[in-house]
Structure 1
Amino acid sequence: MAAVTTVITGATSGIGKETALALAKKGHGLYLLVRDVVRGDELARQLTEQTGNKEIYSIKCDLSDLHSVYTAAEKLKSKLFAVNVLINNAGGMFPQRELSKDGFEKTFAVNHLAHFALFHHLLPLLQKGQARVISLSSEAHRVGKIDLDGINSEKKYSLMRVYGMAKLFNIFFTKSVAEKYQDKGITAFAVHPGVVNTSFGTGTGGFTGFMLSLARPFMITAEQGAKTSVYLATQTGLHTKSGSYFKKCKVAGTSSAANDVTAREKLWQLSEELLKQHPPV
């Protein structure tokens, strides 16, 4: 049995796939939470062939459906004694306003609320594993404006506004986990992977799509983008940096909004209330 058990979302492409490959090479037991199980099973097979690591599994988990998140967490709890690393890698950027199965604006649902739910339902395993919780944020958090009354963007939808707010919420989540669970042995880190040339954002139109197309020739590879996540999942002696935002494997500064403790606590409370309204069936 692997010495380290890692759970990762969004591993079938881009940064997540490269992160999974690197950790498979290091002997981590991997549980890939995937929306498409066929792709997930194929990736698990490929990673085993490439690395010789036979402890790689895929579990269905659609982050736009809280019931799917709860079901995935229950499967993990039935299979595992502990989780040592949880990587909230998956994310989403949606050109037009869409709603999740539970009726939430999809950017908020996929980037924040689903991972918040996953963390809470895996908490017994995370505590036993003295886990590291790694969440992919972005420098886009700097354009995020805190609007806890408008998380569903019902009045006005702007792709970069909702995405920036979601990435800001990833940092809020990281800081809150670090504070609330430090006595449980859980540490938390947020990551800016870099501006990575993946399929992320494909189909985005307008000014954002135009800027993405201009930037692509200068973007780093998915393998390079995975380096900080892999570093945080494997490096020793990081407990004193819990709650930090990392870029290029080093602690980096955040926007002033990311240090708003009152808003951060309100987000935590709101997220708990939303999950209570959508409990496991």
Structure 2
Amino acid sequence: MNLAITGATSGIGEQALKALLKNFDQIFILARNESKGNALIKSFSEIDQKKCIFIKLNLADMDSVVKAANFIISKTDQLDVLINNAGGIFKEKEITKDGFEMSISANHLGHFLLTNKLMPLLLRSKIAKVINVSSEAHRMAKVDFSDLNYQKNSFSSFGSYANVKLFNILFSKSLVEKFGSRGLKSYALHPGVVKTNFAKESAGVFSFLWKLASPFMITAEQGALTTIYLAKTDIEAKHNGAYFKKSKPTTPSKSANSKNMREKLWLKSEELLKEWL
């Protein structure tokens, strides 16, 4: 079986990767930092090192996403599990070279493009799964589809993050609607409040609250457990497209279950990415 995972050089992604090594024959590790990725691979046993291929990927650069997807396509004709793990919260508003606000690019659009490019490989698998790492922060989302780059509305570090975490759930449900009849399974998950370097770029009240909560946070190993569970477990068909927390399906926000919102998001994502799709 073949696995592709983004952002696996640190935090919950790294812990999920380490736990899943024995379950896959070939693993594509997609991340920005090549030296970190190669060092991680070298820390594995000789047998596991041979399974792993590092692929440089910058989710804020759509050319990089296409290049990474094409490399995977050149190396295999089937992909069994894709874990869209990478993401982050950004202190200031930043526009990528492609013209997208950084948070939506790194947390949604990059993965939307990668997943769609790899879909032919996924649909050749009998157990095809896409796993999207979301967050309970999605419950605070307030989305304006006419202003995803914050040209009119003021940018908020946490607000933009809440929106894209909602997008992760909407995207998971859309994947099931569009490809579920062809065997695709897709899930979103909340990993828990994990003590990593994740929020070091955050600002304001969110940064303050994060520091206050720090002593009560779980470890990266604990935070990876739901990702590992979804990657390894044959989930009941009735939960396809579900949002998971502590390895159990959980009811997300009303917006996360909105068919209208997920259709809007899909069409808007296609519109923004038409140059690369």
TM tier, shorter chain? over 0.9
| Separation in structure 2 between the aligned mates of residue 139 and residue 228 of structure 1, nearest angstrom | 14
| Separation in structure 2 between the aligned mates of residue 181 and residue 29 of structure 1, nearest angstrom | 24
* Unpaired stretches in structure 1, ≥5 consecutive residues: none
| Corresponding residue number in structure 1 for 2:105 | 109
Q: 2:259 aligns with which of 255, 258, 261?
A: 261
| CA drift at 1:22 | 0.3
The 8 Å contact of residues 24 and 47 in structure 1, kept in 2 or not, is answered as: no
What is the identity percentage for the equivalent residue pairs of Structure 1 and Structure 2?
45
Deviation string 1:177-223 (CA, Å, 9 cap, x unpaired) is 01110111111000100000010011323111100100111000000
| Separation in structure 2 between the aligned mates of residue 69 and residue 149 of structure 1, nearest angstrom | 25
| Corresponding residue number in structure 1 for 2:86 | 90
| Separation in structure 2 between the aligned mates of residue 199 and residue 99 of structure 1, nearest angstrom | 22
The 8 Å contact of residues 48 and 56 in structure 1, kept in 2 or not, is answered as: no
Q: 1:123 aligns with which of 101, 119, 126?
A: 119
Q: 1:58 aligns with which of 40, 44, 54?
A: 54
Deviation string 1:211-241 (CA, Å, 9 cap, x unpaired) is 0100111000000000000000001243331
- 1:115-154 equivalent positions in 2, closer than 5 A: 115-130=111-126, 131-154=128-151
Q: What SS does structure 1 have at the residue aligned with 2:8?
A: coil
| Separation in structure 1 between the aligned mates of residue 201 and residue 168 of structure 2, nearest angstrom | 24
- 1:205-224 equivalent positions in 2, closer than 5 A: 205-224=203-222
- The letter for the 2-side match of 1:229 is T
Q: State whether structure 2 residue 202 is matched by structure 1 residue 204.
A: yes
- 1:127-276 equivalent positions in 2, closer than 5 A: 127-130=123-126, 131-155=128-152, 156-276=154-274
| Corresponding residue number in structure 1 for 2:20 | 23
TM-score by length of 2: 0.96
| Corresponding residue number in structure 2 for 1:75 | 71
- The letter for the 2-side match of 1:225 is G
Residues 153 and 28 (structure 1 numbering): CA distance in 2 closer, same or farther, change over 3 Å? farther
Give the alignment's Cα RMSD to 1 decimal: 1.3
TM-score by length of 1: 0.94
The 8 Å contact of residues 60 and 102 in structure 2, kept in 1 or not, is answered as: yes
| Separation in structure 2 between the aligned mates of residue 117 and residue 210 of structure 1, nearest angstrom | 34
The 8 Å contact of residues 146 and 263 in structure 1, kept in 2 or not, is answered as: no
| Separation in structure 1 between the aligned mates of residue 25 and residue 217 of structure 2, nearest angstrom | 28
The 8 Å contact of residues 89 and 201 in structure 2, kept in 1 or not, is answered as: no
